[in-house]
Amino acid sequence: MNGISVTANGADRTHVERRKLILEKYPQVRQLFGKDSVTFKITVGIFVGQLVIAAILGALGLSYWWLSLLMAICVGAFANHANFVIIHDAIHNCVFDSPLANKWTAILADLPNAFPTAMGFRCYHIKHHSHLSAYDYDADIPSRWEVEWVGNSAWRKAAWIFFFPVIQLARLSRLKGTVPIWGTWTYINIAVIALFDLFVLLAFGPNALLYLFFSFWFSVGGLHPLSARWLQEHFAFGPDQGTFDYYGPLNTLALNIGYHNEHHDFHEIPWNRLPELKAMAPEFYDDLRCHRSWTALLVTFIFDPTYSLGTRSENVTQAARDAHVLSPAE
C-alpha cells in the first residue's frame, strides 16, 4: 500500500492498516510472534567482548586515547548499536516471556554504553509506535527549534547528526502521555550503570571508560554511518511513504534493525524473524522504497538542500490535507 494515512492528531496509521491487510491474507504470520532467547546470549557475548577490549585499552593508558577512538569507530560502535537493538527488542518483550527478565536484559545491554539509556527509552518508545509522527507524543520527531536552527545548512545538518545523543535527550520534555521518565526502573538503571562505570574506571583505568563512551557516541551519532539509521527510518524521503527500510550489508551487524516497516507492522516479531515476514508477504513490502547504503543516505541528507529536518513533518501534514483523515487514535 502506498501513501501516508494519518489521524486527526497527526499520527501515522499506515502500519495499523497494513498489519490488518497482512493478517487477513496471511494469518500464519502470527506464527512468527514470540520470544527469542538467543538474543540474550548475543547480549552476554557483546558485553564480554566490549569489556575485554576496554580492559586491554585501559592497560595501555590514556596516552592511547586515539586508539580507543579508532577502535570505537571501527568495532565498538557496531557492538553498542547492536546492544541498542537488543534494548529495543527487550522493551517490546521479545526476548523472554517475563517482563522482569526483559527489563534486566535491557539493562545488561546498556552496560557497555556507559550511560543509562534503556529505561528512559522504554518510557517513550511505545508512544512512538501508537502515535507515530505525532509531534506531542513521538520522540523521533524533531522539536521545532531543531528544524528552525538546522534549516538546509549542510554544516548544521552535520552538527545535528554528530550531537544526536544530546538532541534526542532534549526532546523528552515536550512529550505527553508517556510513562514517567523518573521511576523506579530509571533509578535502578542509573545506579547499575554508575556502579559499572566506577568498576571499569577503578579496575582498568580511564582509557577503558573512554572507549565505552566513544562506542556509545558513535553508535548513535558522531557522523558514523550507523547514525544514518535515524534518517532512514522515518525521514528519508518522500511524501507518499512515512517509514523506510534499509536492506544493506550492515543489517547483519545491526540485527535487522533496517527492517523497519516490518517492525512497525508487527512489533511482536523478534528481530531475527523479520526477514521471514517480508518473505511471507512480499507484495506488501517489495514495492516500498528502501535504502541500500547508510553512508550514501548520510551524505545525501547533509549536502542535498532538498531535505531538512522538517521533511517528515511536512509530508505528514500534506498527507493530512490531501488524504482521508481518520478518527483520532486512542
Least confident of 51-60, 175-184, 202-211, 283-292: 175-184
pLDDT grade, residue 321 (50/70/90)?
low
Average pLDDT over residues 223-230: 94
> Which amino acid does the sequence have at 302?
I
Cell of 266: 508487527
Least confident of 4-13, 141-150, 194-203, 226-235: 4-13
Tell me, what's the pLDDT at 329? 36
Domain ranges of the chain: 14-322
The span from the CA of 312 to the CA of 242, in Å, is 7
- Listing DSSP states for 247-264 in one string gives -SGGGTTTTTTT-HHHHH
- Residue 252's contacts (CB-CB under 8 Å, 6 or more residues apart) are none
The SS3 assignment for 246 reads strand
Q: What pairs with residue 12 in β-bridges?
A: 6
Residue 56 to residues 42, 46, 52, 92, Cα–Cα distance (Å): 21, 15, 6, 34
Q: Which of 14-18, 35-39, 202-206 has the highest mean pLDDT?
A: 202-206
Q: Which of 171-185, 217-231, 238-252, 309-323 has the highest mean pLDDT?
A: 217-231
Residue 179 has pLDDT above 70, yes or no: no
Q: 246-291 pLDDT, tens per residue?
A: 999 999 999 999 999 999 999 999 999 999 999 999 999 999 999 9
Q: Which of 133-137, 177-181, 274-278 has the highest mean pLDDT?
A: 274-278
Q: What is the mean pLDDT of the chain?
A: 89
pTM attached to this predicted model: 0.90
Beta strands in the chain (DSSP E): 245-246, 290-291
Q: 97-114 pLDDT, tens per residue?
A: 999 999 999 999 999 999
Tell me, what's the pLDDT at 330? 34
Average pLDDT over residues 90-102: 96
